[in-house]
């Protein structure tokens, strides 16, 4: 039969294709549906292939393909990579270099016992920090400069520091924001162990933020990233986590419900059992968090239906 589920528009071949999670699922589809599709349409898929554009597997009736030929996605990626050297010479990086040079002058003035001449220079550096976003290509450079900036601040007399237009609260907020960006970057790169080690440093930085409303927002972001990171580290990490983000757990459950549904359709009942067990353990964690009782009940009902359906399918399989 022709696939009806999981159809997406593939930009590489410019038409709708069925997306499979793995090569084995794509090959199984060909194995069990080849004859029926060929009888209906006169041609049928004969092989599977990985699509970089869709990040998954498709099937095709074309028997030969030269893998050395670049796909449309390859061409787009190559064109983007060619722009990277230009991006590194951006105005933001030039501004950070300017901040670096100014701080060298500040250090020299402090050493020469002329701290009063540093006031306007500190203001200029702080202004640069405020103007530059924490993009992935410069965040480490910016963070290292800001740490240096804070060390220089501590060498100035406290009474003189109070005359600056640079509030300490703003410094604390910037430090917390920089650490949070570093945490997210490590998570996005798949460095889950590193991100886990950074979590406490980020919480400590946020604890120093004076603005309570802003602190609450930062803690919420930490909670979301921490929950996502622990999910990637394994179910045990989530079970041991204190106060995970409930909505992220709900999203994880819904995504796995889709996987269970697909596995059931393709007759992969043992995979269904594994996924149901995983979802049940996440659901047990959700039950420890207050609120969303109606949504919890819906999840429980869906889980029960999956258990019943898979149990019937497995019994029928064993009876053969």
Range 9-30 average pLDDT: 82
Q: Is 119 exposed, middle or buried (0-12, 13-18, 19+ CB in 10 A)?
A: middle
| For range 49-57, the mean pLDDT | 76
Name every residue whose Cβ is closer than 8 Å to that of residue 187 and which is 6 or more positions away in sequence. 195, 225, 228, 229, 232
Average pLDDT over residues 235-249: 90
Instruction: Give start and end residues of each alpha helix (H) in the chain.
Output: 23-41, 72-81, 84-88, 91-111, 119-131, 139-154, 158-161, 168-188, 192-207, 212-233, 235-240, 246-265, 269-287, 293-319
Confidence at 246, pLDDT banded by 50, 70, 90:
very high
* pLDDT of 86 strictly over 50: no
Closest CA to 148 of 209, 90, 105: 105
Q: Which of 99-103, 147-151, 304-308 has the lowest mean pLDDT?
A: 147-151
171-to-27, 129, 131, 150, 237 alpha-carbon distances in Å: 57, 10, 14, 8, 33
Q: Would the pLDDT of 301 be above 90? A: yes
Q: What is the pLDDT of residue 257?
A: 93
The answer to whether 140 touches 134, Cβ cutoff 8 Å, is no
d(CA 214, CA 288): 27
Q: What is the pLDDT of residue 85?
A: 47
More confident residue, 16 or 174: 16
Q: pLDDT value at position 226?
A: 92
* Band of pLDDT at residue 307, cut at 50, 70 and 90: very high
User: Within 13 Å of residue 176, how many CA atoms lie on the same side as its CB?
Assistant: 23
Average pLDDT over residues 229-239: 90
In the predicted structure, residue 97 carries a pLDDT above the cut 60: yes
Give the lowest-confidence range in 149-153, 165-169, 233-237, 244-248.
Answer: 165-169
Place 165 in a pLDDT band, splitting at 50, 70 and 90. very low
Percent of the chain's residues with pLDDT above 90: 20
Residue 96 scores a pLDDT above 50: yes
CA distance 217 to 178: 15
Assess whether pLDDT exceeds 50 at residue 37.
yes
Cβ count within 10 A of residue 180: 20
């Amino acid at each position: 039969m022709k696939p009806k589920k999981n159809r997406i528009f593939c930009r590489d071949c410019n038409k709708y294709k069925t997306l499979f999670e793995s090569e084995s699922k794509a090959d199984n589809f060909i194995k069990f549906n080849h004859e029926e599709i060929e009888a209906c349409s006169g041609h049928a898929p004969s092989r599977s292939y990985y699509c970089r554009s869709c990040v998954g597997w498709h099937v095709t009736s074309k028997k030969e393909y030269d893998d050395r030929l670049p796909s449309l996605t390859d061409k787009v990626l190559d064109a983007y990579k060619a722009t990277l050297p230009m991006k590194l010479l951006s105005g933001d990086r030039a501004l950070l270099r300017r901040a670096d040079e100014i701080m060298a002058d500040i250090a020299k003035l402090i050493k020469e016992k002329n701290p009063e001449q540093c006031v306007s220079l500190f203001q200029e550096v702080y202004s640069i920090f405020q103007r530059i976003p924490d993009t992935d290509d410069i965040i480490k450079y910016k963070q290292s400069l800001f740490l240096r900036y804070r060390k220089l601040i501590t060498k100035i007399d406290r009474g003189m520091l109070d005359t600056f237009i640079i509030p300490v609260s703003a410094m604390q907020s910037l430090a917390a924001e920089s650490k949070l960006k570093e945490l997210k970057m490590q998570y996005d790169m798949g460095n889950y162990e590193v991100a886990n080690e950074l979590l406490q440093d980020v919480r400590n930085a946020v604890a120093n933020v004076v603005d309570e409303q802003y602190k609450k927002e930062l803690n919420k972001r930490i909670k979301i990233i921490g929950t996502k990171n622990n999910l990637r580290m394994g179910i045990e990490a989530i079970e041991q986590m204190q106060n995970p983000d409930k909505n992220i757990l709900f999203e994880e459950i819904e995504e796995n419900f889709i996987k269970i549904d697909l596995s059931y359709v393709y007759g992969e009942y043992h995979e269904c059992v594994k996924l149901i067990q995983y979802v049940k353990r996440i659901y047990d964690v959700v039950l420890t968090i207050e609120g969303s009782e109606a949504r919890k009940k819906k999840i429980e009902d869906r889980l029960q239906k999956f258990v019943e359906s898979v149990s019937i399918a497995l019994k029928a399989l064993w009876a053969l």
